[in-house]
Amino acid sequence: MTSSIDLLQGTVDVLTLRALVFGPLHGYGVSQWIRDRTDGELVVENAALYKALHRLELAGAIAAEWGRSESNRRARYYHLTAKGRRQLRTEESRWHRYTRAVSKVLGPA
């Protein structure tokens, strides 16, 4: 874990929202998606992930219901709401502005 990047505030939220763009996922699915997309560079602690999921549910960005997993086990599936899609769009553009700005300061690696 020492080799991976520490997460900035709010990053987990935007990553979670992004993970759900393609359809409903359970918490494990979200964590898998993040690991796969970053080749293990970004490791999100499950505690933080689940906190984000429930927080986003409270905010109305995502909704949850129980469904059946591929292995036919009961699992809690999350999906984006209209509000969540809007939130994702704003977060994404903010994130891009932020990383561009930081990159300009630091210059090419």
Partner 1 sequence: MSPVVKRVFHLPWRTRAVMRSDLEEEFAFHFDMRFRELVARGVPAAEARTLALDEFGDLAEARCYIDAVDEAIEAATRQRDIMDNVTRSLRHAVRRLVRAPLFTLTSVLTLTIGIGACALMMSLVSTVLLKPLPYGQPDRIEMVWGTVPNGGLGFVEQPTHGRMFTLIRDNTRAYEAVAGFRGAAFNLGDATNPERLAGVQVTGGFFRALGVSAEIGRFFERANETPGNDRVAVLSDGLWRRRFGGASNVIGRAITLNAESYVVIGVARPGFAFPRGAEMPGDFQFAATPDVWVPLAPPTAGPSDLAIVARLRPGVTHAAARQDMDRVIGVIEASIPGAKGHIHQLLVPLRDQIVGNVQLMLVSLLAGVVLVLVIACVNTAQLLVAQLHVRRRELAVRAALGASARRIAGEVMAEVLLLVAGGGVGGIVVGMVGLRLLRTFGAARLPRGSELAFDTRSALAALAVTVVAALLASIVPMLTGSRVPLVETLRSGGRGAGRGGMSIKARRALIVGELAVSLVLVTSAGLLIRSLSRQLNGALGFSASHGLTFELSLPPIRYPETQARTSMDHTAALPFLAAALNNIRAIPGVSAAAIGKPLPLSGAQEATVFTPEGDLPPLASDATSPIAEYTVASPDMFRALGTPFVAGHDFSAADRQDSPPVVIVNQAMAEWLWPNKPAVGKRIRVGPPGMKPAPPWMTVVGVVSNMKRYALTETPRPEMIVPYTQNPYPTFSTMQFVVRSRLEAAALLPAIRAAVAAADASIPVAQVRTIDDLVASSASNARFVTRFMTGFGIVALVLAIVGVYGVIGYSVQQRRQEFGIRRALGADSGEIVRLILRQCLNLTGAGLALGLGLTIAAGYGLRHLLFDVSPFDPATFVGAVVLIAAATTAASLVPAAAAARIEPRAALEE
58 near partner 1 (CB under 8 A) = yes
What do you get for the CA distance between the two ends of the chain, in Å?
Answer: 22
Contacts of 40 (CB under 8 A, 6+ apart): 4
Give me the sign of the Cα torsion angle 50, 51, 54, 59: negative
Residue with smaller CB distance to partner 1, 61 or 88: 61
4 near partner 1 (CB under 8 A) = no
Min dist. Cβ of residue 99 to partner 1 (A): 25
Q: Which of 65, 102, 105, 108 binds partner 1 (CB under 8 A)?
A: 65
Q: Which of 27, 34, 61, 88 binds partner 1 (CB under 8 A)?
A: 27
Min dist. Cβ of residue 1 to partner 1 (A): 8
* C-alpha distance from residue 29 to each of 18, 22, 38, 57, 82 (Å): 12, 12, 14, 17, 21
Give me the sign of the Cα torsion angle 89, 38, 4, 61: positive
List residues binding partner 1 (CB under 8 A): 26-28, 31, 43, 45-48, 50-51, 54-55, 57-58, 63, 65-67, 69, 73-76
